[in-house]
Amino acid sequence: MRGHGLGVLECATSLKVPGNSGSAERMSSDLGVKARVDRQQAQHQEAVSSLAQGARATVGARRGAAKISIRDAREATVFYNLIKDFQPIIAALIALIAAAIAYRSTQKAARTQSTTAFTIQKQQFQDAKAKEADANRRRELATIIRLQMKFELMNVLLSDRLTWVEEVENQCMEKEQTGLYVIPDNFLIWTYFIDARSIIKEAEVYNARDQDLENLEPSYQVIYHSLHRLVSNYDKSHADAVTLAEANNPKTIYLPHVKHAIEDAVSFIQKNDLELARRVSELSD
């Protein structure tokens, strides 16, 4: 074994024991030398074993690395071939994903535009509705004001007619408390009775037009028609009383119906005039 410092083994093999080998001292000396040689041999064997194990480990590591490299190369080749085989499918999937993203973006933009358009239309509708409500309020206010003026004019006219009736009661003679009053020929008030126009016709300039009535709430439409009915009832009672009085000689007029018709209409006007004023105030705010 040359080249790795094993000369001690050569020395050990050429060792000779001189002298008397049978003496105890010689044997002791020989045993000491032999023991040292054995230890040196053991140490050398351990060193050689360590070197051999290190070499084997290095070779094994290199072989393992080489195997791993070969395996990695094979796996890379397989993966590359796999990717190459599925490349059309992967490209199609990428294109599909891109199309889906583009579609979602388009849909989102369309929804945004639709929402914006809906919001604008809703605002326009609300504005138009507000304008329409304001126009309706103005029309109703104008109609209520005309109706209120009609009330005031009718109240004045009916109050005058009631004054005529009271003058007849005070200045003409009643027949036995029957409500029949004899009219003298020179009685001035009677000319007013004869020449009096219908209050409905006299107040016609203040009549609400048919289209205006549609602007009133139902409750105010009822008020208007109720007033029209009461005043028309007075006009008829007044005309009938004058006709019957002229047919008699001496002239005799029946006043209870006329007076009650006037009082009913005046009472209705006074009762609802405050309601009309309240409504005018509400619409004016």
User: Stretch 172-183: mean pLDDT, rounded?
Assistant: 89
Determine the Cα–Cα distance for residues 215 and 143; give it in Å rounded to an integer.
7
- Worst-scoring range by mean pLDDT, 107-111, 265-269, 275-279? 107-111
Asked whether residue 69 carries a pLDDT value surpassing 70, the answer given is no
Domain-wise residue ranges, the chain? 7-73, 133-284
Q: 233-269, pLDDT tens digit by residue?
A: 999 999 999 999 999 888 999 999 999 999 999 999 9
pLDDT at 98 over 50: yes
pLDDT for the residue 113 = 79
Q: What is the mean pLDDT of the chain?
A: 77
**Is residue 23 predicted with pLDDT exceeding 60?**
no
Residue 8 has pLDDT above 80, yes or no: no
pLDDT at 140: 87
| Residue 68 pLDDT | 62
Q: What is the rounded average pLDDT of the residues 67-96? A: 70
C-beta atoms surrounding 48 within 10 Å? 13
What pLDDT score was predicted for residue 67?
60
Cα(233)–Cα(225) distance, rounded to whole angstroms? 12
Strand pairing report for 252-254 and 180-182: antiparallel
Q: Max Cα separation, the chain?
A: 205
Residue 221 has pLDDT above 80, yes or no: yes
pLDDT tens digits, one per residue of 110-150: 778 778 888 888 888 889 888 988 888 888 888 888 888 88
Q: What is the pLDDT of residues 181-216, one digit of tens each?
A: 999 988 888 999 999 888 888 876 556 566 677 888
- CB 190: neighbour CB atoms within 10 A? 21
pLDDT at 94 over 50: yes
Its pTM stands at 0.54
What is the C-alpha end-to-end distance of the chain, expressed in Å? 126
Strand partners, 173: 182
- Per-residue pLDDT for 59 more than 80? no
pLDDT at 106 over 90: no
**pLDDT for residue 102:** 82
Residue 29 has pLDDT above 70, yes or no: no
Range picked from 24-28, 104-108, 139-143 for highest mean pLDDT: 139-143
Lowest mean pLDDT among 22-36, 88-102, 153-167, 223-237: 22-36
Sign of the C-alpha dihedral, residues 90, 91, 93, 97? positive
- 87-126 in b/e form (b: 16+ CB < 10 A) is eeeeeeeeeeeeeeeeeeeeeeeeeeeeeeeeeeeeeeee
CA–CA gap between residue 105 and residue 99 (Å, rounded): 10
Tokens of 141: 């206010």
Mean pLDDT for 222-234 is 90
